[in-house]
């Protein structure tokens, strides 16, 4: 049996050629990754203000498509390192909005405020670790690790799909009593409930911040927890926002174009709470944004409390002088079902 060395050599050479042709195709294939933005309960009352998942490892040249799935607005935004964050209405100055973008860390990239069924695709051109934020919500963050094409990625798409489903479930089913209510919008009062409201007290939203190794995320209850309040003429109702991050308003009558500042008929109580007097269901009153002060950070000025100019307020009070039915909304979240009414008896 003669060993055909010439033939063996030819075969080896042919296999080598095949290998050389095949390997670059595997390495160069640019992957398309999928992630989601936000999550909501069926009644839209519970909103996960989160990127799901919020940490992804990819190769330079790969793309990620974010799919928006909520009625609440969000953005997908990558700022330059150290760049000052602007309101979502301003986004990234000079960047033209569209369905896709490329990002290498040198310029800011963002969507406008998007809702369910919209998507945004970013192709990452350079290696690095890039922070992902939503310009609508602070404490809604993530990170994209862009590795060299020769690096091995730790996870595949199935892993991220599973992780996103798990985080979505954990956030929306948060069992903390302060944020739990049933999905019909009814709040069952419980004597052990630490946020149980005394008479004339209304919880105007609840929120909690949690985190993964990819960064903080928030779950918010976009509801007036006690949507109907019954009082007598001359009494005062007090609304309190129990959550960080998410602003709400208490708005009677005509909704102003800009709900952020209080209407002119709102005054400040000595403890800084805003206060209005309503004489008739025809009156219009807007609390302005009721929200917690931003989290303190070393190196930044102390945030303001009222009555300082620009100070934040977590409470709003209304004194009702006459009987009647007074419907109101949160101007930011009425589309999610955040509405209530005050019934004033004689």
Residues lying near Cu ion in the complex (CB under 5 A): 248, 330, 332-333, 338
**Residue 87 CB burial class (10 angstroms; 0-12, 13-18, ≥19):** exposed
CA atoms within 13 A on the CB side of 26: 9
State which residue, 135 or 330, has the beta carbon closest to Cu ion.
330
Tokens of 134: 């939503």
| Nearer CB in complex with Cu ion: 247/273 | 247
Q: How far is the CB of 326 from Cu ion (least distance, A)?
A: 18
Largest CA distance in the chain: 113
Q: Find the shortest distance in angstroms from Cβ 202 to Cu ion.
A: 12
Output 338 or 344, the one with its CB closest to Cu ion. 338
Would you tell me how many other CB atoms lie within 10 Å of the CB of residue 4?
10
Q: Which two tokens stand for residue 213?
A: 């190794």
CA dist., res. 40 & res. 164, Å (int): 13
- Is residue 21 classed as helix, strand or coil in its secondary structure? helix
DSSP 301: P
User: Which one, of 127, 125, 134, 41, lies nearest residue 85 by Cα?
Assistant: 134
Beta carbon nearer to Cu ion, 101 or 330: 330
Query: Min. distance of Cβ 25 from Cu ion in angstroms?
Result: 51
SS3 for 33-59 is: EEEEEEEECCCCCEEEEEEECCEEEEE
Q: Which is nearer to Cu ion, 78 or 328 (CB)?
A: 328
160 vs 239, beta carbon nearer Cu ion: 239
Q: How far is the CB of 330 from Cu ion (least distance, A)?
A: 3
Least distance in angstroms from the C-beta of 285 to Cu ion: 16
**Nearest distance from residue 205's CB to Cu ion, in Å?**
5
């Amino acid at each position: 049996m003669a060993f055909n060395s010439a033939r063996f050599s030819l075969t080896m050479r042919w296999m080598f050629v095949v290998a050389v042709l095949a390997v670059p195709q595997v390495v160069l294939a640019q992957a398309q990754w999928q992630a989601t933005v936000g999550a909501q309960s069926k009644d839209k009352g519970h909103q996960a203000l989160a990127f799901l998942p919020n940490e992804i490892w990819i190769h330079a040249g790969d793309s990620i498509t974010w799919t928006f799935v909520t009625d609440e607005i969000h953005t997908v935004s990558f700022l330059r390192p150290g760049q000052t964050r602007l309101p979502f209405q301003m986004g990234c100055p000079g960047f033209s909005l569209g369905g896709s973008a490329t990002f290498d860390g040198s310029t800011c990239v963002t969507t406008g405020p998007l809702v369910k069924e919209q998507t945004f695709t970013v192709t990452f051109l350079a290696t690095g670790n890039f922070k992902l934020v939503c310009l609508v919500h602070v404490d809604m963050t993530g990170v994209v690790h862009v590795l060299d094409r020769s690096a091995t990625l730790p996870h595949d798409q199935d892993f991220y799909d599973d992780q996103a489903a798990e985080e979505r479930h954990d956030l929306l089913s948060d069992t903390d009593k302060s944020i739990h209510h049933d999905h019909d919008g009814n709040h069952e009062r419980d004597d052990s409930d630490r946020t149980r409201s005394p008479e004339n007290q209304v919880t105007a939203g609840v929120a909690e911040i949690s985190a993964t190794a990819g960064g903080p995320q928030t779950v918010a209850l976009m509801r007036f927890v006690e949507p109907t309040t019954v009082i007598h003429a001359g009494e005062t109702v007090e609304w309190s926002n129990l959550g960080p991050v998410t602003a709400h308003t208490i708005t009677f009558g005509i909704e102003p174009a800009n709900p952020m500042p209080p209407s002119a008929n709102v005054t400040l109580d000595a403890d800084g709470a805003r206060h209005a007097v309503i004489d008739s269901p025809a009156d219009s009153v807007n609390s302005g944004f009721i929200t917690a002060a931003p989290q303190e950070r070393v190196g930044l000025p102390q945030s303001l409390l009222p009555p300082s100019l620009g100070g934040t307020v977590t409470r709003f009070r209304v004194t009702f002088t006459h009987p009647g039915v007074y419907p109101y909304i949160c101007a930011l979240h009425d589309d999610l079902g955040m509405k209530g009414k005050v019934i004033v008896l004689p």
